Amino acid sequence: GATIGILGGGQLGRMLSVAAARLGFQTHIFEPGANPPAGEVARHVTTASYDDAEALKTFAEQVDVITYEFENIPTSALDILEAHRPIRPGREALRVSQDRLTEKQFLQSLGLKTAPFAAIDTLDELEEAVATIGAPAILKTRRFGYDGKGQARIKSSEDIAQAFADMAGAPSILEGFVDFSHEVSVIAARGLTGDVACYDPGENVHRDGILHTTTVPAKLSAGQRMDAVLLAARILNELQYVGVMGVELFVTSQGLIVNEIAPRVHNSGHWTQNGCAVDQFEQHIRAVVGWPLGDGQRHNDVVMENLIGDDINHVPQILRESNNALHLYGKNDVKPGRKMGHVNRIQKSAS
């Protein structure tokens, strides 16, 4: 069978490798860190830095198509890889989503709603932006933020100096605080021939800035559900996207507001492993190799719960209860905030 190259060897790369193996493909992981979670299930692992042009070229030549589990791949590495093999999802999706400013501008260009925002490079700009946008607001680094890292809340103008200092000089973006009732996400996929399939939106609850649970079905009216799926499809079509994307949304009385997009399989889509015949990982593999997409129909209600840090101690209890599907990532050292695994609690048959 063909070999799929995956940039990044974390749990997403691991679950992509499992799905690929089930479809008869081999995977080859490229990962700078030692002993990546994906390494145990992939056929090949290259341990090298994204600065290592020779290693990147060799990796590319050994695979048939390249995909990734995280969006912060350096442009210089992408240039080398793309000279040898197709990268799916493509460069435009990465360019747009690597930077929160570019991302918001792109979303607004599609006529989609975002939080009010302003680019921030100096303390003066921040003071001006807080005056215009108002407090509460959130200052975020434009690049490299995840799990709520690289963010500072501004409750009043007294917090401005500290928030600016927290960014440590990194280019940032100020976002007005969205008064949402809850958060949902759409996991959407687009195939090589342009067909789009979306999973039922899930409702997300965060704990300490990290996703804690995703529940399907989400609390949404039929109209909101349709809006969510249609706006996700517009984003994928505009980018001529190939693969799975996570689209995070705020539900407000003024409609759906797009928080951010992730050009990859997404933590809030893990429920699909036990709620659908074709889960997000298989869907992504199908898309990047040019196979037809599965329809993603949901056959069960599911509550996905992340096992973060010491939550790993809940495993014995999870194993004793029925209707729990446990997924562990094979990580040995437990650290606060570290995603160790997740459990999909199957609720009942969807009618």
| Residue whose CB is less far from Mg ion, 125 or 260 | 260
* Tokens of residue 211, six digits: 């996703």
Is position 214 an interface residue for ligand ATP (rule: CB under 6 A)? Answer: no
Closest approach of Cβ 34 to ligand ATP, in Å?
Answer: 24
Closest approach of Cβ 19 to ligand ATP, in Å?
Answer: 22
Closest approach of Cβ 313 to ligand ATP, in Å?
Answer: 23
SS (H, E, C) 113-141: CCCCEEEECCHHHHHHHHHHHCCCEEEEE
| Residue whose CB is less far from ligand ATP, 263 or 275 | 263
Is position 118 an interface residue for ligand ATP (rule: CB under 6 A)? Answer: no
| Residue whose CB is less far from ligand ATP, 175 or 279 | 175
How many residues are present in the chain? 351
Contact 277, 196 (CB under 8 A): no
Half-sphere exposure (Cβ direction) of 156: Cα atoms closer than 13 Å? 1
Options 20-28, 73-81, 174-182, 316-324: segment touching ligand ATP (CB under 6 A): 174-182
Residue 311 interacts with, from ligand ATP, Mg ion, none (CB under 5-8 Å by kind): none
Q: How many chain residues interact with ligand ATP (CB under 6 A)?
A: 16
Show Cβ contacts of residue 121 under 8 Å, excluding neighbours closer than 6 positions. Answer: 171, 172
Is position 134 annotated in a ligand binding site?
no
Is position 249 an interface residue for ligand ATP (rule: CB under 6 A)? Answer: no
* Tokens of residue 39, six digits: 């390494």
Is position 260 annotated in a ligand binding site?
yes
Is position 263 an interface residue for ligand ATP (rule: CB under 6 A)? Answer: no
Q: Which residues of 291-328 are buried (b: 16+ CB within 10 A; e: fewer)?
A: eebbebebebbbbbbbbbbebeeebeebeeeeebbebe
Is position 64 an interface residue for ligand ATP (rule: CB under 6 A)? Answer: no
Options 59-67, 102-110, 142-150, 342-350: segment touching ligand ATP (CB under 6 A): 142-150
Show Cβ contacts of residue 302 under 8 Å, excluding neighbours closer than 6 positions. Answer: 215, 216, 271, 274, 275, 344, 345, 346, 347
Is position 148 annotated in a ligand binding site?
yes
Instruction: Rule CB under 6 A: choose which of 22, 153, 155, 206 binds ligand ATP.
Output: 206
Q: Which residues of 92-114 are buried (b: 16+ CB within 10 A; e: fewer)?
A: ebbbbbbbbbebbebbeeeebbb
End-to-end CA distance of the chain: 38
Contact 307, 340 (CB under 8 A): yes
Options 86-94, 119-127, 143-151, 342-350: segment touching ligand ATP (CB under 6 A): 143-151
Contact 38, 6 (CB under 8 A): yes
Is position 147 annotated in a ligand binding site?
yes
* Tokens of residue 292, six digits: 């037809």
DSSP 268-312: GGGGGGTTBSS-HHHHHHHHHHTPPPP---B-EEEEEEEEEGGGG
Residue 178 interacts with, from ligand ATP, Mg ion, none (CB under 5-8 Å by kind): ligand ATP
Report the site for Mg ion in 249-308 (rule: CB under 5 A): 260
Residue 291 interacts with, from Mg ion, ligand ATP, none (CB under 5-8 Å by kind): none
Q: Mask 17-46, x = binds Mg ion (CB under 5 A)?
A: ------------------------------
Is position 144 an interface residue for ligand ATP (rule: CB under 6 A)? Answer: no
Residue 184 interacts with, from Mg ion, ligand ATP, none (CB under 5-8 Å by kind): none
* Tokens of residue 290, six digits: 């040019």
The annotated binding site for ATP is made up of 100, 140, 145-151, 175-178, 183, 206, 259-260
Applying CB under 6 A, which residues contact ligand ATP? 115, 138, 145-149, 175, 177-178, 183, 206, 209, 248, 259-260
